[in-house]
Structure formats: structure tokens, C-alpha cells
Amino acid sequence: MATVIIPLYEDVYADLLHNPFDSTERFTERVTGYMSRPGFAMTAAYAGHDPVGLVLGFTLPAETHWWDGLTTPVPDGFTYSREVMAPGAA
């Protein structure tokens, strides 16, 4: 993670790293926590030898509170989580 993912994150989010939530330290803490979740996966995309993007996520449990706080109405069943990935990307 230290040789590809973190430098890529810092490059993509360079303008936001001064914000506490977007700092490298907070990103690293979040990803480290995500890595212990069931179904966690992460991959980087390359153009030749250069990393150009990443995606990560984990499977949400059926009883998740991920959807709490939605501010607009959604159709019945929209928040049912069976095998949904909680995404993150750079």
C-alpha cells in the first residue's frame, strides 16, 4: 500500500490533503480499517508502468446502517444490502 496506493491517493487528492478528513493519515487509517472487513478488495489500474487509479470496497452486512441519513426518498428495497460493495476510488 505504501509504494502504490498512498502515493496515488496523494497525487489525486493533492488539493484536499490539508483537510483533516482527506489527509494521508486519515486515508491510511480508513483503508487499514476497511482491510479487516469481510469481502474487502482493492486494486490499482496502470497505464504501462504508471499507476493511474484505484478502487476499493467491502461487502456490507445485511443489517448495515450505511444508508442511514439519506435525505431524499428512495424506492422500497433500495437500501437492502445483500452483496453490495461500499466503494472508494481515486
- List, for residues 22-70, the tens digit of each pLDDT value: 999 999 999 999 999 988 999 999 999 999 999 998 887 777 787 788 8
- List, for residues 16-26, the tens digit of each pLDDT value: 999 999 999 99
Domain ranges, residue 46:
5-89
Q: How many domains does the chain have?
A: 1
Q: Which residues neighbour 72 within 8 Å (Cβ) at sequence distance 6 or greater?
A: none
Q: How far is CA 66 from the centre of its chain?
A: 13
Q: pTM, whole model, 2 decimals? A: 0.71
- Look at the chain and count its residues: 90
